[in-house]
Structure 1
Amino acid sequence: MNNLKKFLFNLITDKNTSFWVLPFKIVLSLFSFLYFIIIKIIFLFCSFRRKKFKVKIISIGNITWGGTGKTPLAKNIAEYLKEKNYSVAILGRFSDEISLLSKKLKDIPIVITCHKKEGIEKAIREYSPDIIILDDGFQQWGLEKDLDIVVIDSLNPFGNGWLIPRGILREPISSLKRADILVLNKVDLIKIDLDSLKELLRKINPNVPIFEALYVPKYLENLRNGKKEELDILREKDICLFSGIASPESLRYTVEKLGYKTKLVFEFLDHYLYKESDLIEICSRCIKEGIKELLTTEKDAIRLKPLIEKVSERFVSLSIFSLIVELEILDSEKFYARLLTFFNN
């Protein structure tokens, strides 16, 4: 199953450029056209019966598959509004990201639901919030929202330009005209001209405010004992980098900027469910290569901790860390001022 998923992922991201996969790409292109027709019909149907709630609703979403940073942004906004004495609740589907939110936001209620309308009703009924934040709400076309924020991965804004399943787009790029605010994430890692991307976005949505964001490494967490460690302890050391996230290249760039020497890399698909055998293989390769430090992401750590406990005695010479990062909005004062403007109006 994992091999099939990897094969399909390489198709939709055009990482597989072999001539023999061309028939598969043609078939996926036809399904993309069908997908386009279906979402257009659903969008039109929902447009005539949008549900309006008395509570203020902020949607934070994207138009692509994969991690753009919408959940970390939801966390930042929730914390800011809490400081401003607003009562806030967050809605989201069960995921690694939501699990991290639950861990970090102890005093902000999080409603886990697959059905946003029912989730909003539950949040209103149980918590009476002033504002509800929808994590991944841009495609909730049947809801009346007060603010639609879209997060874009600057490293890979729109993939190959195709809709699902030929590409990673959940909606056509033209759908960004519905956005009230655009946030370009990972701007410190971008290899192309950021102004060109902004110019394209302004052609789609001329008056939309565009903000920039990036992930700032804060510290390392030792996954054996839970201790916080300074970022410097791995500087100039050979490490094994492994992850199961949507954008492993952004992790590689970040680690490179920190001055870590990546000698061994294991990259799994997003939300990969690690098996004990996976961790044993990774650790065994590290011992063979003379590597003593392993590094992964905070999101991966959620799935790895139970496995680390099982194999820890077998690989006592190895240290396994997760890199803890925080999303930082550049010109954050202007961003939050703009956000509050929507509610004041």
Structure 2
Amino acid sequence: MSNKRKIENLETYMLSVLDGTEKGKWPTTLRILLKGLSLLFSVIVQVRLMLYKHRIIRPNTLGCQVISVGNLTVGGTGKTPVVEVFARNLQQQGRKVAILSRGYKSKEMSFREKMIQRITTGKIETPPRVVSDGKRLLLDSWTAGDEPYMLASNLPNVAVVVDKDRVKAGKYAIKELGCDTLILDDGFQYLKLGHRLDIALVDRTNPFGGGHLLPRGLLREPMRNIKRAGFIFITKCGEEGEPELKEQLRRMNPVAEISECRHAAKYLKDVFGEQTYPLDKLKGMKIAAVSAIAVPESFERALEAFGAEIVYKRRFADHHRFSQQEIINTINRSIQRGADAILTTEKDAVRFPFVDRRDIPVIYMRVEIEMLSGEEEFMDWISRICFKSPRAA
């Protein structure tokens, strides 16, 4: 078994320990130990916030609009479509936008490359990776990371820059790309770069991360810290919204605007081509559902809601980098199970290596944010960021 597969298996096991699926003496003991570490982690988090709040540690300022989009939990809250709609609206109202991402699981500089740079320049300092300069797509998903690549593909007029040091990435976006508005992707906890506004996402299916901080639960910081947010999106809502959760969040943050939204499927698209299909194509279709996301059940339920019959499921760890052999094996197994097509998510599709097989369609579902409430407040918020009156917008 490869090291990558061992790490993914460990991640999967730990998640089952955290949510209580794993029973027995050792999982119970592990949960007790992790709870103790969570208490220590909570102290560290709060001390860090206090140091920034009282300006003992000063954040960097870049002299332009900086807005963060993030959450209080790890895992899939549906952040990428929210970043996309936010960036698109800002760009359409005249801002020169750059999305700054840390590029989770993107390709790192190799040891050999680091040593060559050390020898030739005397130091190891890499420039930010420009996934898109706002005019053209410059990197692939392997180098950029799947989420930055997906954002760059869907936002042709928005720059996307990847670097763990987002202060450096922000300076580059301003100086080299002429940007005047920066969006910190997954930036709620990134205090090193000062930001004027915070957008926080709360996943309706698991809003409080199991009620524990890392490593016992999925919370990055106590839920009460959502009071820092100026705008809250409740994601993955049902048709009727989430009035009880909205009221809970309102008690934690009396001043933030709160929007309820859902991830609405729009159409189907060929992974290896340009052909698109309407969603009603799924009705009565036998499909193989393949995904490598934090909550695969939500994707599978969506397929069944459109009338598809799932005859084969293949779930990989979140952000799994697919090999060509894995895709070939999946195709073969799907055909054996009588599937009419293989369905995956857009986030996973960018990590599919090209396979020259046409005996079964390989399709992804395009999903966009659809606001159920708070859309007027959101657009007013955008207008204020752009220094426009709501009427002018």
Q: Same fold (TM over 0.5)?
A: yes
CA distance in 2 between partners of 1:224 and 1:337 (Å): 39
User: 1:280–1:129: structure 2 CA closer, same or farther, 3 Å change rule?
Assistant: closer
Which stretch of structure 1 is more off in the superposition, 332-341 or 82-91?
332-341
The Cα RMSD (Å) is 2.1
Contact kept? 1:189, 1:253, Cα under 8 Å:
no
- Please name the residue that 1:28 is paired with: 34
2:286 to 235, 238, 246: 238
The aligned amino acid for 2:366 is: I
The aligned amino acid for 1:341 is: R
1:44 to 43, 50, 55: 50
Which stretch of structure 1 is more off in the superposition, 15-24 or 119-128?
15-24
The aligned amino acid for 1:73 is: V
Contact kept? 2:286, 2:309, Cα under 8 Å:
yes
- Please name the residue that 2:125 is paired with: none
Contact kept? 2:94, 2:386, Cα under 8 Å:
no
CA distance in 2 between partners of 1:277 and 1:145 (Å): 44
CA distance in 1 between partners of 2:179 and 2:72 (Å): 27
Unpaired runs of 5+ residues, structure 2, are 1-5, 104-144, 389-393
CA distance in 1 between partners of 2:9 and 2:177 (Å): 44
Kindly, what percent of the aligned residue pairs are identical? Answer: 33
TM-score by length of 2: 0.80
Report Cα offsets for 1:261-283 as digits up to 9, x if no partner. Answer: 12221222110122334334322
- Please name the residue that 2:331 is paired with: 283
CA distance in 1 between partners of 2:315 and 2:24 (Å): 21
Query: CA offset at residue 319 of structure 1?
Result: 1.7
Contact kept? 1:91, 1:134, Cα under 8 Å:
yes
Moved segments of 4+, more than 4 Å: 342-345
- Please name the residue that 2:204 is paired with: 154
How many aligned positions are there?
337
Which stretch of structure 1 is more off in the superposition, 153-162 or 11-20?
11-20
Query: CA offset at residue 162 of structure 1?
Result: 1.0
Matched, 1:53 2:67: no
Report Cα offsets for 1:306-333 as digits up to 9, x if no partner. Answer: 3x33xx2xxx432211111112233423
Which stretch of structure 1 is more off in the superposition, 166-175 or 75-84?
75-84
* Structure 1 segment 1-345 matched on structure 2, within 5 A: 1=6, 2-47=8-53, 48=55, 49-94=58-103, 95-188=145-238, 194-306=242-354, 308-309=355-356, 312=357, 316-330=358-372, 331-341=374-384, 344=387
Query: CA offset at residue 253 of structure 1?
Result: 2.3
The aligned amino acid for 2:270 is: N
Report Cα offsets for 1:84-136 as digits up to 9, x if no partner. Answer: 11222211122311111111222211111111211211112113323111111
CA distance in 1 between partners of 2:9 and 2:199 (Å): 35
TM-score by length of 1: 0.91
Contact kept? 1:32, 1:163, Cα under 8 Å:
yes
Unpaired runs of 5+ residues, structure 1, are none
Contact kept? 1:220, 1:229, Cα under 8 Å:
yes
CA distance in 1 between partners of 2:246 and 2:281 (Å): 38
CA distance in 2 between partners of 1:102 and 1:164 (Å): 31
